[in-house]
Structures are given as structure tokens and as C-alpha cells.
Structure 1
Amino acid sequence: MKFYICGLLLFFASAAFAQLNPMGSIYYQNQFLANPAMAGTETGLNLNGAFKAQWVGIDGAPKIQYLTADYGLSNNKVGIGALLYSETAGALSRMRATFSYAYHLPLNNASSFLDFGISAGIMNEYVNIGKVKGDLTDEVLNGFNERKLYLDGDFGAAYRNNHLTIQGTLPNLKRFFKRDVLRNVVDRSI
């Protein structure tokens, strides 16, 4: 039996990605940050913001800031939201802005919902050449900054009631539609 379970797990195995959106425990306070289906789960306007600085005093230490706003319409079925996100770690910087739409489907009673949400927006990633300590003529380094703004988004679903919330998210949908070509460049000069 163990052999079959291991075989089944290997059959469905795929690449895994960790810390795609590295805000740590903030997700417990602001569930919309991780899942667009959670936009507007409460009636009215919700504003959230955070700043996270790691390794304070070290040059190039990671810094992250975000601002979210989500609004739940009075019928409890529709929510909208917006996210502004900025991250800097060493020479690498990322900025993201998205807008979200969520639909909250009431189930058998008024306290159970099946939520679906989608977000779409723009993302910009670049390397600050002034902070690079290395070969500034590197093709991969310069090619990274030649990329333009690109479309990105997330899809989320959730089941929630008064006692339980179960969520699932497909973050960074760009990876399903556009593959970045990784160049394998080796300098063999002497």
C-alpha cells in the first residue's frame, strides 16, 4: 500500500515555489493579502497597511511595504479590492498593483459562504545596477532589466462559516501563461 501511495504522489508531483509573497504572519490579520476571494468578506471599507524591515542596520536588507483596500457591498455577495506592494532586497526590487473582484455565494444558511476571487494587475521587477558588486556586463543581469511591466494576477477560492475557513490560492498566474527563458551563460574567457 505504501508503494502505491508513494507512486501516486510522485505521479502528481510538480515544481514547488516557496515564499512567493513573503509577508509572514500578516496573512492572519489580512486574509485578502493572500487570497483575492477574501475581498469584501465584511461589509464596508477595510484599509490595511504594513511595513516590514529585516536585518535592520545591514546594507541591502529586505524591506517590504503594502497597502490594501477592500470593500464589501451591503448584499454580502460581491467584494472589490486593491493592493499596492513594494519589496526591495539588496539590488532586486519588485512593485505590484492589482485590483480584485470576489463573489461570495451563500450556501444553505446565511453564515456559510463559498467565495471565489480573481485579481489582475501589473508587476515590475528590476535590478538596481548601482548596488551590484560584480560583472556589470553580464548578459543575464542586463537582460533582466530589459523586461517591461507585465500582467499578473491571482485566483482564489474559500469556504467559510462561523467556525471554519478553508482557503486555496493560485498566486502569480503569469507563470502559467508566460515562461521566462532562463539563459545558461558561462564566461569561459581566460
Structure 2
Amino acid sequence: MNKLKYHIKVLIVLLIIMGGFSHVICAQQGMQYTQYMYDGSLINPAYAGADEALSISLLHRDQWSGLEGAPQSQTFSAHSLFKKPQLGTGLFIHRESIGVHQNIQAATNLAYHLPVGYHKTLSFGIKAGMLNVRSDYQSLQNGNPDPSVNDEIFSGTDFNAGFGFYYRSKRFEAGYSIPSIINKTINVNDSIVLDPINHNHLLFSQYHIPLGNNFILSPAFLFKYFQGTPLSYDLNFLTTYKGVLTAGVSYRKQESVDFLIRFNLSPQFQVAYAYDYPIGNVSRLAQASNEIMLRYIFKFNYDNVNSPQ
């Protein structure tokens, strides 16, 4: 009974904090990833600690390679688990540049993992940190400054937060998150207001199907809703061979067909690459995108691993 009371108290605290976030009116437009299924903390703070060991990920994305001013991003994610009281903590740093604009986000993740059955866990997570937005219009003026622009470089910083829910068992996982929230627009001077924020809802699910002794098929989907834009989704089909090689394809609605491959060079070290081939109207304006990911899990006993992540 004391253990049950303890779990209830922790959940109440987290729900109160999440309730406070619900009054926040704006959320970030969203970071673009193709390999989010390998490290769920990229899109959901409730995943922090789910690997039951210290996990470090480095990701570089070159959106529309070769196109001047196209988005580029780098992400660092590290998280671990404290088994008593089943708390996951993590650090998240993301940098993104688009033309003259640059966003830098630094945040910490906190997740509580509640056992709900044999090898079944329901997690609740929150994120808190800072978001800096910087625009360098000087680079556009080519020596002919616009008299209507008082400053050539604008910068603003504000508090940023997010939350999520995540369920996992040995074969199934699902999560819902609003991974980034900000409480107001950023005023960079008297005449310029940057509003890079919109509501951003993500719903992810994946199922692992053993095919004999050597293969695991992992179909998955990610639904994405950004305020003011139509509902979007990713459909993923991955196959893992002997826990060493993973390959698959993903379809991003009316945007791209993505090809993914991952090598487990050791039980701890993973190298992954994704190639996004644009389709539809996007293909007329954009070029292919490239994404590389390095991941290390400081875990040397895999007897209790719940999924082939």
C-alpha cells in the first residue's frame, strides 16, 4: 500500500506540472527527424531513461542538400535511468539554421516510469529549458542597408518546455507528446516580433514482430499536427537482422520517401543513416536530405532489454 501511495504522489506532481503547461498557448513548429524511432527522446521527453542505461545520441541533418540557405540541424541527446524511484533524466541540445535564422534550444528532460505489468511500463515526462532565436539580416543587405531596419542582427531568448506520455512492452510501444512549448513571442526590438512557435502534437506507435529466430519486422507510424497546417504522417517499415543490421523505408505524406539503414557495430555502439528522396510538389523545389546518427548505450547486460531499440 505504501508503494502504491508513493506512485500516486509522484503522478499527481507530474500531472500538476503538465496541467500548468496546458495554459501555455504556443508550441514550436517542430524539428524534422527521420530516425526518431531509434531514440524516442528526440520527440518525447517521457522516453528519457527508457533504455535503462546512459544513452547518448548525436544527430546531424542536412535538409535539401545543396540548396543555399536550406535547413541544417545538429542534435545532442543524453539520458539515463535511476531505478529507484524509476526516474529518467536527460539533456537535450538542438541547433537549427535556416537561411539567416538560427534557433538553439537547450533543455533537461525528466520522466517517471510506472510499471503496469510484466515488462510493461507507462511513462510521464516533462521538459524545461531555453530557446534562443537569432536572425542576421545584415547578410542579406549586400552593402545597401535598409533604413527601415534599425538593427541588423536580432536575437531573443525565452523559457521553453514540453511534456509527453509513453507506453512500452516487449513488442509494442506508443507515445503522445507536445515536445516543445514556449509561453510567449520573442520581442527582439521595438518594431520586430519573432513568433516561431505553433502548437505541435506528435503521436507515435511501433510494433515489433519476430520472424523466425533472425529477423524482427517493426512497422510504425508517426502522426504530426502543427497548428495551421494539415495533418501529416510518417509510415515506417523496418527489418532488423540478428540485432546487428536494420534497414527499412519510410513514407512521409506528400513530402518524401525515406531509406534507412543502421549498423550495430557492437552491442553498445550504433551508426545509422537516412536518405530522404523528395516527391510530389516538394520535388520541384527541393533536393534530397541526408541524416546521420551516432548512438552509444552504456549497457553491457542485455538480458532484460524490452525491445530491439
Same fold (TM over 0.5): yes
Structure 2 match to 1:159: 167
Residue in structure 1 matching 2:63, options 40, 54, 66: 54
Residue in structure 1 matching 2:105, options 96, 101, 112: 96
Partner Cα distance (2:104, 2:51) in 1: 27
Gaps (5+ residues) in structure 1? 1-14, 185-190
Partner SS state of residue 106, structure 1? strand
Residue in structure 2 matching 1:20, options 30, 50, 58: 30
Give the letter for the 1:29 counterpart: Y
**What does 1:1-190 correspond to in 2, within 5 Å?**
20-23=30-33, 25-75=34-84, 77-107=86-116, 109-133=117-141, 136-138=146-148, 145=154, 148-174=156-182, 177-179=183-185
Give the conservation status (yes or no) of the 8 Å contact 1:68–1:83: yes
Give the conservation status (yes or no) of the 8 Å contact 1:129–1:136: no
- Extract structure 1 runs of 4+ deviating beyond 4 A: 141-144
Partner SS state of residue 162, structure 1? coil
RMSD: 2.9
Which structure has the highest strand share of the two?
2
**Residue 152 of structure 1: how far off its partner (Å):** 0.2
Partner SS state of residue 29, structure 1? coil
Please list the CA deviations of residues 12-44 of structure 1 after superposition, one character each: whole Å capped at 9, or x if unmatched. xxx9x8951112x12111100100000001222
Please list the CA deviations of residues 110-164 of structure 1 after superposition, one character each: whole Å capped at 9, or x if unmatched. 311110000100110111123325974456x959925x31110110111221121
Give the letter for the 1:112 counterpart: K
Partner SS state of residue 30, structure 2? coil
Partner Cα distance (1:132, 1:114) in 2: 49
Partner Cα distance (2:45, 2:139) in 1: 34
Partner Cα distance (1:149, 1:180) in 2: 7
**Residue 172 of structure 1: how far off its partner (Å):** 2.2
Q: 1:52 to 1:103 in 2, by over 3 A?
A: same
Gaps (5+ residues) in structure 2? 1-24, 193-309
Give the letter for the 1:34 counterpart: I
Partner Cα distance (2:137, 2:152) in 1: 12
Give the letter for the 2:32 counterpart: P
**Residue 106 of structure 1: how far off its partner (Å):** 0.6
Which structure has the highest helix share of the two?
1
Partner Cα distance (2:115, 2:101) in 1: 43
Give the conservation status (yes or no) of the 8 Å contact 1:39–1:100: yes
Q: 1:64 to 1:106 in 2, by over 3 A?
A: same
Q: 1:77 to 1:143 in 2, by over 3 A?
A: farther
Partner SS state of residue 131, structure 1? helix
> Structure 1 length normalisation: TM-score?
0.74
Partner SS state of residue 138, structure 2? helix
Structure 2 match to 1:10: none
Partner SS state of residue 37, structure 1? helix
Give the conservation status (yes or no) of the 8 Å contact 2:41–2:47: yes
The alignment-based identity, stated in percent, is 25
